[in-house]
Amino acid sequence: MQTHYRTCNICEALCGIEIQHEGQNILSIKGDPKDPLSRGHICPKAVALQDFYVDEDRLRAPLKKTADGFIEISWEEAFEITTNKILALQEKYGKDAVAVFLGNPNAHNMGNLLFMRPFYKALRTKSRFSASSVDQMPHHVAAVHMLGHSLLNPVPDLDHTNYLLVMGGNPLVSNGSMMASPDIAKRLRAIRERGGKIVVIDPRRTETARKADEHLFIKPESDAIFLLSMIHVLVQENKVRLNHLEDALTGLEEIITLVKKYPPEKAEQITGIKAEKIRSIALEMAAADKAVLYSRMGLSTQTFGGLCIWLTNVFNILNGNFDRVGGMMFPRPAIDPITFSPKKGKPKYESIPLSRVRKLPKYLGEIPAASLAEEIETEGEGQIKALLCIAGNPVLSVPNGKRVEKAFEKLEFIACADIYLTETSKHADIIFPATSGLEISQYDITFLNLAIRNIAKYSPALFPKKGNVKHDWEILAELTARLRGEENPGHTPEMYVEMALGMGHYAKEGLSLEKLKAHPHGIDLGPLTPCLKDRLQTDDDTIRLAPTVFLEDLKRLDESINISNSQPDFPYQMIGRRLLRQHNTWTHNSHRLSKGKNECTLMINPKDANKIGITSGNTVLVKSRIGEIKVEAEVTDEIMAGVVSLPQGFGAGKKSKMKIATAQNSVSINDLTDDLRVDTLTGNAALNGVRVQVLKL
Ligand SMILES: Nc1nc2c(c(=O)[nH]1)N[C@H]1C(S)=C(S)[C@@H](COP(=O)(O)OP(=O)(O)OC[C@H]3O[C@@H](n4cnc5c(=O)[nH]c(N)nc54)[C@H](O)[C@@H]3O)O[C@H]1N2
Ligand SMILES: Nc1nc2c(c(=O)[nH]1)N[C@H]1C(S)=C(S)[C@@H](COP(=O)(O)OP(=O)(O)OC[C@H]3O[C@@H](n4cnc5c(=O)[nH]c(N)nc54)[C@H](O)[C@@H]3O)O[C@H]1N2
Ligand code: SF4
Ligand SMILES: [Mo]
């Protein structure tokens, strides 16, 4: 029997796992108590890593689409066809005719991250899409304009704070996002045990809300007004504290002036939260020695995502809790993206390029994912003619997925790198079967820069590749070489990791790949410490509290308040939710994760259910501007009246190697979400707050 230690790379929590195995036979997967970040915690998904490894229905050889369905082909043929198609289409229509969509697992895979840059360089396309713009783009936009670099994202110092206000996040289920915080349940409990307080503001009484001291319902998409009035209270009550950042800020006067017109009384009408409550939360946070406001998905995937994340930062700064123990802090990762792409300069909103069709901003050089369909459909220079989809499932993950699927018919070529035949990859001409989970080596480049404690950890692959598959980075490296007409130089991710560690903050202390290999549980680099002043990337080394982009966007917010919110055709606002035993659209094949009662239900408040005349278990018809679905209703006072909730990630059928079965009892929320609803400031999709009608069948 052997024991292997690694980091689970399914989600952002970075849990250390301990795997006991005899050869390729897994005996157990448990939490690794010696992992310095996760301290033994895991969730049910880690155990399913073995299912994904052995799953007979995973892709095990390259596939080519023919008139009679998919056939297995050689790697040589798959590379040859794909390279020739890309070059021919770029020759005929221009470089940008070939688009790339990068899905979420890329962020959890060092090979993909390291080999993507040269791949893009060889491809020279500006048609780049990713899951970032259906997720966290507002966080990057706030970071760019306020701190000068899109990857300077603050994380809550959970282990030291005494007051945690959570808006639009459900870390007890998601295990934390834009904050690698494994063992979250214990960490939240510890806040309360040391006399601290947790408040959750969410249109649903979530699993996290149930464990908090207080939960307040908020009307979807009204958070920006709530935040403005929280800042209003700090200013009006003379509670602004800047601490060590006092000499490093610009824009305070603008903030003081603009929040005047957002008193809690006004916010009460819009958010549904009582003015006294808003005042008391702001004052409690001002009085707490260490307090932090944490905002996530529910705030970044709504119409005012950019404003919400900006105001979250402004509140934390004005409350004296930015770059300070117990507040919002900045990790100092061993591989620091800032070292490799320093920005020093003033990002000018006017210079952010715009997308071709809808003229949405292209932050991080990406066209918003909500525009994927229209960029394919709309004729003219720059029209997309081919799509390369790497570890993504946009048919299920972007708003109005059906429109994306329909648009695929217009493409002349699609290639996907995936581990499964999916709702997206089934449309591909060529599918490259990739490795995942236990077959890859991993150093987490993305999420160690978002971890609530500084650590470094390297995990070698546990098992050899199963079947005729390749690592994503091998696929990318080979395509890169062929597009360039060069020999593949045969670099490995480890070569880059070693180099990056050598240039990193801990190289002087001897941190190297070799040292990490000798420490399979990972190396603790200590708690987060104030470091923002050293890492700021603005040209004058100040934090910009009031960038023009946000000030201007306030007009859009004010206008939305003035427009009456009642829409008789679509009286309800739909929001999403995540489930503990599923990960986005791709884990449904694991029986241990999918068994049990149907969780794909529409949550609806008893008051609304009475009006419609439905009870739990009834099938209802849900309609939005773009589509309709039938789904089982779940009547519960967990959801606010006027709001309904459908889980994301469903609509995924049972996968097999050559075909995909239609999903039973499983509907895609993105058959209802509207691709025209975006946060026009950041281009991020507004997946929450979608107007729907619910009818009895
Ligand atoms: N309405 C609504 N829509 C949402 C969300 C929501 O909350 N509500 N959430 C959004 C968010 S936060 C995200 S991140 C996106 C996710 O959107 P996507 O990234 O498009 O979706 P995933 O389900 O993560 O798809 C990942 C794909 O990669 C494959 N895969 C898994 N591991 C690997 C691997 O190692 N290599 C390769 N090559 N393929 C792999 C899977 O089989 C799957 O097809 O969805 C977004 N969509
Ligand atoms: N088990 C599991 N874990 C996951 C994932 C998964 O699919 N399954 N996905 C991973 C990914 S890709 C991501 S990005 C993270 C996301 O991590 P989280 O951000 O924690 O994810 P959600 O559970 O989507 O939480 C969003 C919350 O916002 C609330 N909300 C919706 N609209 C509004 C609004 O207008 N205002 C306010 N205040 N709240 C609102 C919703 O009710 C929900 O509770 O989770 C990751 N972890
Ligand atoms: S919380 Fe995330 S990282 Fe931890 S075991 Fe579960 S899926 Fe893996
Ligand atoms: Mo995500």
Tell which atom from ligand 1 comes closest to the C-alpha of 422. 44
What pLDDT shows up at residue 348? Answer: 67
Q: State residue 349's pLDDT score.
A: 67
Q: Identify the residues whose C-beta falls under 6 Å from ligand 1.
A: 103-105, 109, 131, 134-135, 297, 390-394, 397, 417-420, 422, 434, 436, 472, 576, 584-586, 648, 669-670, 673, 687
Provide the pLDDT for residue 337: 92
Say if residue 104's pLDDT is above 90. yes
> In the predicted model, what is the mean pLDDT of residues 117-139?
98
CA of 242 to the centre of ligand 4 (A): 32
Q: Which helix (H) or strand (E) holds 29?
A: strand 25-31
CB-based contacts of 99, cutoff 8 Å, min separation 6: 125, 127, 128, 129, 372, 375, 376, 384, 386, 387, 388
Q: Which residue has the higher pLDDT, 348 or 331?
A: 331
C-beta of 690 in contact with ligand 3 (< 6 A): no
Q: Is the CB of 19 within 6 Å of ligand 3?
A: no
Q: Do domains 63-135+338-527 and 157-324+531-555 have the same CATH topology?
A: no
Domain boundaries, the chain: 2-47, 63-135+338-527, 157-324+531-555, 566-696
Q: Nearest Cα to 248, choosing from 38, 474, 458, 544?
A: 544
What is the average pLDDT across 437-441? 97
Q: At residue 490, what is the residue type?
A: G
d(CA 491, ligand 1 centre) in Å: 27
The three-state DSSP-derived secondary structure of 224-268 is HHHHHHHHHHHHHCCCCECHHHHHHEECHHHHHHHHHHCCHHHHH
> Can you tell me which atom of ligand 1 is nearest the CA of 669?
1
* Best mutation site among 6, 8, 9 for ligand 3 pocket (most ligand atoms within 8 Å of CB): 8
**Nearest ligand, CA 590:** 1
Nearest atom, ligand 3, residue 44 CA = 6
User: Which ligand places an atom closest to the C-alpha of 271?
Assistant: 2
Pocket test for ligand 1, best of 119, 397, 405, 432 (most atoms within 8 A of CB): 397
Average of per-residue pLDDT across 215-232? 98
Give yes or no for residue 106 CB within 6 A of ligand 2.
no
Residues with CB under 5 A from ligand 4 (ion): 135
Q: Which CATH class is domain 566-696?
A: mainly beta
Q: How far is CA 364 from CA 97, 141, 645, in A?
A: 19, 9, 31
As a whole number, the mean pLDDT across the chain is: 96
Which tens digits make up the pLDDT trace of 169-205?
A: 999 999 999 999 999 999 999 999 999 999 999 999 9
Indicate if ligand 3 lies below 6 Å from the C-beta of 10: yes
Q: How far is CA 542 from CA 323, 337, 528, 609, in A?
A: 13, 20, 21, 52
**DSSP run (H or E) holding 472:** helix 472-484
Point out the ligand 2 atom lying closest to the alpha carbon of residue 580. 1
- At 478-531, the pLDDT tens digits run 999 999 999 999 999 999 999 999 999 999 999 999 999 999 999 999 999 999
pLDDT of residue 437: 94
Architecture of domain 2-47: Single Sheet (2.20)
- What does the pLDDT read at residue 648? 97
C-beta of 578 in contact with ligand 2 (< 6 A): yes
Give 539-581 pLDDT, tens digit per residue.
889 999 999 999 999 999 999 987 656 688 999 999 999 999 9
**pLDDT exceeds 70 at position 206:** yes
- Asked if pLDDT for residue 658 goes beyond 90, the answer is no
**Residue 564, pLDDT score:** 59
44 has a pLDDT exceeding 80: yes
CATH 3.40.50.720 correct for 157-324+531-555: no
Handedness of CA 651, 654, 659, 664 (dihedral sign): negative
**CA 534/CA 378 separation, integer angstroms:** 46
Place of tokens 């560690």: 501
3.10.50.40, 2.60.40.420, 3.40.50.2300, 3.40.50.740: CATH of 63-135+338-527: 3.40.50.740
175 in contact with ligand 3, CB cutoff 6 A: yes
* Integer CA distances (angstroms), 229 to 55, 139, 204, 265, 318, in order: 52, 21, 22, 9, 13
Cα dihedral 309→313→315→320 (10° resolution):
170
When pLDDT is cut at 50, 70 and 90, the band that residue 350 belongs to is low
How much is the pLDDT for 448? 98
CA of 394 to the centre of ligand 4 (A): 13
Kindly list the distances between the CA atom of residue 293 and the CA atoms of 142, 152, 158, 186, 631, in Å, as whole numbers in the listed order. 15, 17, 11, 19, 35
